[in-house]
Amino acid sequence: MITGGASIADAQNVAASYTRTRARGLDLYVENLGKLGLGLTRIASGAVDIRDDAAAYLFDPLVWLYVILLMVGLLRARSGLASLTWLAILPYALVLPLANAKYEVIPNGRFLAPLLPLCALAIAFGLDAALARLPRGRPGWPRWALSLAGIALVLWPLVPLARRYEQMADSEVTSTMLVSAANEVESRMAPDEWVALDPDLDKLWLDGGGDYLSAFRYLLSLGGTPNTELEFRRQAERGDLNSCQPNTVELRRVEPERSPGATRLFEDDPATPRDETLTPYWQIRAVQRSDRVRDAQRGQADEWREVIATYSPPLFASARAVDRCAPGRQI
């Protein structure tokens, strides 16, 4: 009641983000279970590279080698203490799809991380079963060869994981760019000045979740810079940008006293002699097609401005961007 239902709306948005599909009921559960199976197979086998669709993994013989060893190991772990592997894997794998639809390796592989040691244990059982099939009394080299192959299988997933991290260089560049942009804003401001953030910055997404709006809000607040969201566009002009295309972010110096049509950040305080609505402020906005025309209409065309960041859709580690911009792509 205190927030006017905002907390409920936020919870619904979070729930929707973790569903991300129109399926419901049993269909949703089966869909999520399939995603979980594919995600777990990819992580356990080291197939963490980005591919165009799920079928690309299903035709990978190395992936099948891990799957076969895993299944053989689980079949071998049917009695004694080894059966605890089943008791740990099954409840987790069957319950998780009820609440989660996110199984991309980055950043959502964390949901599957508790199963990885158990999968490694099952694969070890599978390798042990293969060793047990070797005839006894023969020269030891086949056993050694199989043991070395087992060690290689255990260590191999680290190789494609390292390559995948190299693909995340764009994420590092974006982080550095946003930090530099926030530092530049702070360096140009007087101590008592405010920054107005464009609400449409939330349509510029970041790897692993989040967006430019939340990033600037965090970075500016961390530096002690007062900031707030300010809607300055007409209703019909809001959200007029494509999150799947490159966009630019600019810093502007807004001076309502020079540009009477500019959106005011502050309300006037009748108890003071000055008009607070004329207080200048800084603005960080995502540039949209209608902005230049509106700036001219409001007398803001000659305001100081500078591009401080550029945006490209994060297709390497943002499930939201992939769902919208490259459906079916596996990240």
Q: What is the pLDDT of residue 140?
A: 62
Q: Is the pLDDT of residue 8 over 70?
A: no
pLDDT tens-digit series, residues 283-320: 999 999 889 889 998 989 889 999 999 999 998 888 88
Q: Is the pLDDT of residue 131 over 80?
A: no
Question: 103, 35 in Cβ contact below 8 A?
Answer: yes
Q: Is the pLDDT of residue 65 over 60?
A: yes
Q: Is the pLDDT of residue 139 over 60?
A: no
Q: What is the pLDDT of residue 221?
A: 94
Q: Is the pLDDT of residue 281 over 90?
A: yes
Q: Which token pair is 297?
A: 């209409």
Q: What is the pTM of this model?
A: 0.76
Query: Considering only CA atoms, which of 195, 200, 222 is closest in space to residue 211?
Result: 200
Q: What is the pLDDT of residue 192?
A: 83
Q: Is the pLDDT of residue 44 over 70?
A: yes
Distance CA 116, CA 123 (A): 10
Q: What is the pLDDT of residue 251?
A: 95
DSSP string, 110-155: GGTGGGHHHHHHHHHHHHHHHHHTSPTTS-SHHHHHHHHHHHHHHH
Q: Where are the domains of the chain?
A: 6-166, 169-325
Which pLDDT band holds residue 183 (cuts at 50, 70, 90)? Answer: very high
> Which helix (H) or strand (E) is 21 found in, with range?
none
Q: What is the pLDDT of residue 161?
A: 85
Q: Is the pLDDT of residue 226 over 50?
A: yes
Q: Is the pLDDT of residue 89 over 60?
A: yes
Q: Is the pLDDT of residue 190 over 90?
A: no
Q: Is the pLDDT of residue 206 over 70?
A: yes
Query: Considering only CA atoms, which of 118, 129, 99, 125 is closest in space to residue 17?
Result: 99
Q: Is the pLDDT of residue 1 over 70?
A: no
- Which of 10-19, 204-213, 216-225, 316-325 bottoms out in mean pLDDT, i.e. has the lowest? 10-19
Query: Considering only CA atoms, which of 248, 144, 150, 131 is closest in space to residue 198?
Result: 248
Query: Considering only CA atoms, which of 298, 232, 224 is closest in space to residue 265?
Result: 232
Higher per-residue pLDDT: 29 or 15: 29
